[in-house]
Amino acid sequence: GEEVAQTPKHLVRGEGQKAKLYCAPIKGHSYVFWYQQVLKNEFKFLISFQNENVFDETGMPKERFSAKCLPNSPCSLEIQATKLEDSAVYFCASSPSLPDRSTDTQYFGPGTRLTVL
Amino acid sequence: GNSVTQMEGPVTLSEEAFLTINCTYTATGYPSLFWYVQYPGEGLQLLLKATKADDKGSNKGFEATYRKETTSFHLEKGSVQVSDSAVYFCALSPFSGGYNKLIFGAGTRLAVHP
């Protein structure tokens, strides 16, 4: 598709439950990113993929967070045993693989709002 | 390390006023710089970008110039409209290529009144 799609739009979980979020990147884009937007608008980078391979996971809290991008499937971000502080909007973005840096851009999806009660 | 600092909001303006939102950055190497806009309840949209020193990005009446000497990328618009009310994020990508993570400033909320 021509837009990054994210599902679900809203997700409510009780503390300790699992949450799974999905992202379909723009067709033909090789790179997928996950960002977390918490209160006061702060964006935090979590992880990125080049196709199905992890490219950069320096922002990922590895104890409870995991992510995958498998061929012919939406990418996913999973949080095991959610905590109150995981409440945030999770954005996915995708980017083409272009040699010309003047055209490189990340395109963002509409986000998934996760509320942990 | 790499970081972005934006002026704190909210910024409240009357319609047709001049807008400046300050953004400064710290980076090693030669980053690309971006302004993204987030309208209420929506995701981020790229507003403009610049990939090298002295480049000017522009879109929808907004402009920003990549100033390496002052490590700044201030956003300006000559005459704002009510529809410009949104949160504006300055961001940098540390290295060339769209495969690099973005580092965002804290965002500046703009409210434009008729």
**pLDDT tens digits, one per residue of B47-88:** 999 988 999 999 999 999 999 999 999 999 999 999 999 999
Provide the mean pLDDT of chain B: 92
> So what's the pLDDT on residue B29?
78
> So what's the pLDDT on residue B41?
81
Average pLDDT over residues B88-97: 83
Q: Is A70 exposed, middle or buried (0-12, 13-18, 19+ CB in 10 A)?
A: exposed
> So what's the pLDDT on residue B96?
60
Q: Which residues pair with A66 in a beta bridge?
A: A78
> So what's the pLDDT on residue B100?
80
Q: Give the residue among A40, A42, A45, A87 at the shortest CA–CA distance from A67.
A: A45
Q: Please name the member of B51, B98, B106 whose beta carbon is closest to the beta carbon of A106.
A: B98
Please give the share of chain B, as a percent, with pLDDT higher than 90: 75
The CA-CA-CA angle for residues A70, B32, B22, to 5°, reads: 120
Task: Label residues A34-68 b or e (16+ Cβ within 10 Å = b).
Answer: bbbbeeebebebbbbbeeeeebbbebbeeeebebe
Task: Label residues B57-67 b or e (16+ Cβ within 10 Å = b).
Answer: beeeebbbbbb
Residue B104 touches chain A, beta carbons under 8 Å = yes
Residue A85 structure tokens: 């502080």
pLDDT of B43 strictly over 80 = yes
Would you tell me how many other CB atoms lie within 10 Å of the CB of residue B35? 26
Q: What is the pLDDT of residues A75-104, one digit of tens each?
A: 999 999 999 999 999 999 998 876 565 567
Could A42 and B93 be called an inter-chain contact, meaning their C-beta atoms sit closer than 8 Å? Answer: no
CA B98, CA B25: separation in Å to the nearest integer?
19
- Whether cis (ω within 30° of 0) applies to the bond prior to A8 is yes
Q: What is the pLDDT of residues A15-52, one digit of tens each?
A: 999 999 999 999 989 899 999 998 777 889 999 999 99
pLDDT of B98 strictly over 90 = no
> So what's the pLDDT on residue B19?
97
pLDDT of A2 strictly over 70 = yes
Q: Is A29 exposed, middle or buried (0-12, 13-18, 19+ CB in 10 A)?
A: middle
| Contact residues, A window 56-95, toward B, CB-based 8 Å cutoff | 56, 58-59, 91, 93, 95
Q: Choose, out of A97, A101, A107, the residue to mutate when testing the contact with B (most B CBs < 10 Å).
A: A101
> So what's the pLDDT on residue B57?
95
Could A41 and B51 be called an inter-chain contact, meaning their C-beta atoms sit closer than 8 Å? Answer: no
pLDDT of A1 strictly over 70 = no
> So what's the pLDDT on residue B14?
97
> So what's the pLDDT on residue A101?
59
Give A17 to chain B, closest Cα distance, Å: 26
> So what's the pLDDT on residue B51?
87
Residue A53 touches chain B, beta carbons under 8 Å = no
Instruction: Assess contact for B82 and B16: CB atoms under 8 A.
Output: no
Instruction: Assess contact for B87 and A41: CB atoms under 8 A.
Output: yes
